[in-house]
Amino acid sequence: MLPGHIKPLKMNYRQELLALFGVNVVCFLVFSSYDTLEWLYHFSRVHEHYELDEFVPLLFSLTITFALFSFRRWKEVQLFYIEVEYLSFHDSMTGLLNRRGAQLKMAHLPAEYTGSAVVFIDFDNFKQINQLYGYEVGDEILKRAASKLLKDYEHSLLSRWAGEELMMIVPNINRHTLPSFVDELYNSITTHITLSAHTVSISMGAVWGDAQADHQRLLVLVDEALSFAKQRGGAQVKIFDH
């Protein structure tokens, strides 16, 4: 879905194409009614000294050239719209959905999300990491975590929810297996984001929801769980039991 400020542009673009098509249809009907081509032929014969017939191949060539040029520009515009749409709903650095994209997708979750785990992942002392080692190190940590999630949970909803906070909704998770799932997730991410000479820890909050769960409400609960984990020193997982 395109953002609101892009939709009118795309609609105008389509309307212009339809208008141009309509103009060509009208021209075709007019030319057919008055036998325009036949008239041009006779005119060129009468005024053969003008060598008007030599211009016909040129006009044909120019028409093909203009059509190809227009098609190329149309494809470029289409690619532009695709890129704008992607950047409107994704984080350009990690490739994850941004908050806007995640909220939009949450409103249309597929049927397989009958039982799902909602997880917040926060990188402990991330501001200090950026200050001590540079933003390049902080960016690399986020990229590594995101690539791991995209690889292992490609069918889940994955988002860079805030600056250093990631959010995921994983379908087909049983309430009773949630603890083992988040422990495995914690260990997997922690191992993957370890950089030489840089120790990085994470805090996680998690909550389970069934098919009737309000995911906006679950986000509030999982945020409380994450806050609890960080208040206790971080580097741990807290599951909200409800």
Q: Provide the percentage of residues in the chain whose pLDDT is more than 70.
A: 81
pLDDT for 58 equals: 67
Cα–Cα distance for residue pair 184/180, rounded to 1 Å: 6
**Contact predicate 150/238, CB 8 Å:** no
Rg of the chain over Cα atoms, rounded to whole angstroms, equals 30
Cα–Cα distance for residue pair 166/136, rounded to 1 Å: 18
| Tokens coding 43 | 């005119």
104 against 194, higher pLDDT: 104
8: pLDDT strictly greater than 70: no
- The per-residue pLDDT for range 11-54, each reduced to its tens digit, is 566 777 777 778 778 877 776 776 666 666 666 666 666 565 66
CATH numbers and ranges of domains, the chain: 7-89 (no CATH), 99-239 (3.30.70.270)
pLDDT for 34 equals: 66
**Contact predicate 124/202, CB 8 Å:** yes
pTM of the shown model: 0.72
Mean pLDDT over residues 134-150, rounded?
95
Q: In what order do the strands lie in the sheet with 165-171?
A: 157-160, 165-171, 116-123, 202-209, 237-239
**Contact predicate 6/77, CB 8 Å:** no
- The per-residue pLDDT for range 152-199, each reduced to its tens digit, is 999 999 999 999 999 999 999 999 999 999 999 999 999 999 877 667
